[in-house]
Structure 1
Amino acid sequence: MAMRLKTPLCFTVLALCACSGESLDAQHAEFDVTTVGQFETPWALEFLPDGRLLVSEARGTLKLVNADGEVDEVGDVAGAPEVSFGGQGGFGDIVLHPDFDANSLIYMSYVEFGERSRSGAAVARARLSLTATGGTLSDHEVIWRQTPKVTGQGHYAHRIAFGPDGYLWISSGDRQKFDPAQDMESTLGKIVRLNDDGSVPGDNPFAERGGVTAEIWSLGHRNPLGLAFDAPGRLWNVEMGPAGGDELNLVRRGANYGYPIVSNGDHYDGRDIPDHHTRPEFAAPAEFWNPVISPSSLMFYSGSEFPEWQGDAFIGGLSSESLVRIEIDGDSAREAQRFDMGRRIRAVEQGPDGALWLLEDGRPGRGGDGYLLKLTAP
């Protein structure tokens, strides 16, 4: 049972303003922060039309949370998929079908077992039947699998999003294997675009090649852990770089973002990777970080709780223990503020009332668990 702490913490959050490579100048800004619940290794959250929300836990549990601030009940949703938990793997993202009110479909990403100690990300859809204190998933259908399954437990990425045109988008990490990000016979290190049933749209950039190549929208990604659409309907992603070089990218049709051939960071063993400017044929990031922020998630804000931030992007930071606000100007982006949250932030979402909701990472998090936080204007 998750724990509900109703008293707002109302603490001052340190806001840091910076551009890439520049020193940080300290300012102060205040949030009212309410701790809503405590979860074991939480990974993603998604709001339901009735105001409740779903929280995925990486070990394979899906929780239904009453977020009205009055009831401290949290229930399990039965029927979650079996997952391969370990390293960076487990139960991942959750999103609702655009017509959820009519079809009750939710989409889930997770890591599944393979042969000979191999694993890979998968995306499944199921029908969600809700009760007052929980629910059930039924009619499971796996609609996509990361190709190929490989050894190791890193860089699955597996963020998912529906676009305004109804297509399903999936971020697929390079699985710490480097070269597959440039291999067109692999979906590792790619952004994938599908119809809502997992079939391939005929106008995908490489559709005529068939096979898994037809799924690819863009390539040359490392570990894209954030995937979101801005108000004009453009897709952006944020991804972890190697030793330096975290990236925010405007995702373009058929574009190659260069990894591992180029990066604004270096290999962990100190070997140099040429910067993006040395190879102009590769798409360069709209913003990058060195030192890194270790991005975990991405969203664009459109609410009324913080009207001055409408149109801005927010990134959860893991090693930076931060919430990063990004200002967008056309195709350009810049870090505008960095809020020191004092904990690794795994996910950020906007609630129905315009509040910002954060999930602390449960690895390590407070006491080994992660808290769900609601941020409102003071």
Structure 2
Amino acid sequence: MFRLIALVLLICAGGASFAGVLQTKEGPVQTTQMLGGLDTPWALGLLPDGSFLVTERDGELIYVSDGETNRVSGVPKVAAAGQGGLLDVTIPRDFSQSREVFLTFSKPQAGGAGTALAVARLSENGKRLTNLRVLFEAEPGGSGGRHFGSRVVEAQDGTLFVAIGDRGDRPSAQDTSNHMGSVIRINRDGTVPADNPFIGQSGIRPEIWSFGHRNPQGAGLDANGALWVSEHGARGGDEVNLAQPGKNYGWPIISYGTHYSGEKIGEGTSKPGLEQPAFYWDPSIAPSGLLVYSGDLFPRWRGDIFVGSLKFDYIARLSGSPLREVEQIKGPETERVRDIVQAPDGSIWFISVGQGAVYRMTPG
């Protein structure tokens, strides 16, 4: 209760003292703090009426509307340990009619936990979730608190992509009899789309869209509806990948990084039949959150990819073909950027874990 009061005070304190300016290659941009006082915030969902939702990894979902914050009841029970907890939140295009929100989280399972996707209805006052049901959970799950992923993205056709980490078990990313280290695609009711790439193939989980991923913590669609993911490498080798159906992205057979011990990973940086990243970082930046920009406020950025850095405290802007990092947007506000999303008006919102805050970025 006391922390929620602090959140209310922060959001109501007035915008001027929480506004700053970041310099970019396209000129200055203004950052405005929309909410502060957060504890390990993970994801941000913007609602059509201007209100928004924020997840905190320990299992809290916070609703913000007209300067008032509420803790939302009815969230799923989470295994809040290590990197696990309440993770992504996604608002579907039909929210105004359905009131549905999608949540990913580490679901307690026998012997550990697995990445799961749930859907629920948000009450009109934003204070509770109802009709919560789990649509998917990764099987067989795993022990430990590492590499859950996890983002959920609504595709243009209404299906759902969910990015899942390898749970620290490297070989599992190449084992398609489980869901670890993959992007999965399901229908909105949890069933498997008939056009998924591995439908009818024995020994392969039918939900799998692509595999060979390590720990994807960013995902977003481009203007053509293609899915891009950003994923953590080990020591070096963080990647941005265009996640295409049926493709194998190589982990842990190929990588541009090394193990934390300094030893070589797998068989090198390439192998026939395995996909190359569209871009990679070495050293690692710890990428989290990914946005392909399509708005009107920053017309020169349309089509560019924005990725948050947890390690070096900046927002990477990637552009061109081949894809390359063309800019690092950096300031006190960008301390450990966890999520980055586009608002309907074209502004860019992001979460700073280090600041415990949500910021809105607009032209300066």
- The runs of 5 or more residues in structure 1 that have no matched partner are 16-26
The alpha-carbon deviation at position 270 of structure 1 amounts to 1.2
3-state secondary structure, aligned to 1:35? strand
Given the alignment of the two structures, is residue 110 of structure 1 paired with residue 130 of structure 2, yes or no? no
2:160 equivalent in structure 1: 168
Seq. identity, %:
37
TM-score, structure 1 length as denominator?
0.89
Look up the equivalent residue of 2:128 and give its one-letter code: T
Q: Spell out the pairing of 1:139-154 with structure 2 (5 A cutoff).
A: 139-154=131-146
1:265 equivalent in structure 2: 257
More moved, 6-15 vs 250-259? 6-15
Contact 1:10-1:30 at 8 Å conserved across structures: no
3-state secondary structure, aligned to 2:300? helix
1:239 equivalent in structure 2: 231
2:128 equivalent in structure 1: 136
Per-residue CA distance 1:104-161 (angstroms, 9 max, x = gap): 2111111121224x11111111111121xx3221111101001112111010002100
Moved over 3 A (4+): 8-15, 274-278
| Equivalent position to 1:91, from 78, 86, 90 | 86
1:339 equivalent in structure 2: 329
Given the alignment of the two structures, is residue 215 of structure 1 paired with residue 207 of structure 2, yes or no? yes
TM-score, structure 2 length as denominator?
0.92
Contact 1:54-1:64 at 8 Å conserved across structures: yes
RMSD: 1.8
Q: What is the number of equivalent residue pairs in this alignment?
A: 352
More moved, 53-62 vs 178-187? 53-62
The alpha-carbon deviation at position 10 of structure 1 amounts to 5.1
1:123 equivalent in structure 2: 117
1:52 equivalent in structure 2: 51
Contact 1:311-1:328 at 8 Å conserved across structures: no
- The runs of 5 or more residues in structure 2 that have no matched partner are none
More moved, 159-168 vs 93-102? 93-102
Per-residue CA distance 1:339-370 (angstroms, 9 max, x = gap): 12341001111122211111111xxx24xxx1
Q: Spell out the pairing of 1:1-378 with structure 2 (5 A cutoff).
A: 1=4, 2=7, 3-4=10-11, 5-7=14-16, 9=18, 11-13=20-22, 29-38=27-36, 39-66=38-65, 71-116=66-111, 118-131=112-125, 134-209=126-201, 213-273=205-265, 277-329=269-321, 332-342=322-332, 343-361=335-353, 365-366=354-355, 370-378=356-364
Look up the equivalent residue of 1:53 and give its one-letter code: F
Contact 1:265-1:275 at 8 Å conserved across structures: no
Query: In 2, distance between residues paired with 1:159 and 1:229?
Result: 12
CA separation of 1:341 and 1:126: change in aligned 2, threshold 3 A:
same
Per-residue CA distance 1:208-241 (angstroms, 9 max, x = gap): 0367611111110000011111001111111001
3-state secondary structure, aligned to 1:180? helix
More moved, 189-198 vs 299-308? 299-308
3-state secondary structure, aligned to 1:308? helix
Contact 1:56-1:63 at 8 Å conserved across structures: yes
